[in-house]
Amino acid sequence: DAMQSAIRIGRRLFNKNHPDYFGMQVLNTILGGYFGSRLMSNIREDKGYTYGIGSGVASLLHDGFFYISTEVGVDVTAATLTEIYKEIEILQQTKVGDDELNLVKNYLLGTFLRSVDGPFAMSEKFTSIKDYGLTNEFYKAYVNYIKQAKAEDLTLLAQKYLSKNDLSELVVGKI
């Protein structure tokens, strides 16, 4: 008699030490990493299936993972899954437009600036560098990557890491 279904889709990935980490941060933001993302625009704003949907790239000390997360009414569970995979396929087949890419770049740069505001925030960044064995140039490289990110590279990352065959899907509720 479930009224809602909880949907989680994801896969094992990599951590901050991987060369594709920065690109996956940009790609993830476009897909579901902020309120203006494709998943949010389609599944919340256009379809009204959920109050919120998002995705993320989590970096653990020795590993990492990518995930998509939402809760929807049981009557739209199957349709939501279809729309999620549709958005992933679009990223794999069609270059991100310049306007959308520039918007996401500005969003990520602003988010990064907020994340280094104040001594405690800065200490967290330095701790992360130490914990992951990164150089002091890590965050400079991140900012540079964001500024120079190319749509073609994001398409290749979507093809490489978001293949439906590599994603695990869990639905708790009804499909």
pLDDT band at 17 (very low <50, low <70, confident <90, very high): very high
Tokens describing residue 104: 């996401």
The predicted-structure confidence for 95-116, as pLDDT tens digits, reads as follows 999 999 999 999 999 999 999 9
Output the pTM of the full model. Answer: 0.95
pLDDT band at 13 (very low <50, low <70, confident <90, very high): very high
The pLDDT, as a whole number, for residue 47 is 96
In a 10 Å sphere around its CB, with 0-12 CB exposed, 13-18 middle and 19+ buried, how is residue 80 labelled?
buried
**pLDDT over 70, % of the chain:** 100
Average pLDDT rounded to a whole number, residues 19-27: 98
The pLDDT, as a whole number, for residue 95 is 98
The pLDDT, as a whole number, for residue 2 is 87
Sequence-separated (6 or more) residues with CB below 8 Å from residue 6: 69, 70, 71, 171, 172, 173
> For 114, phi and psi rounded to 5 degrees?
-65, -30
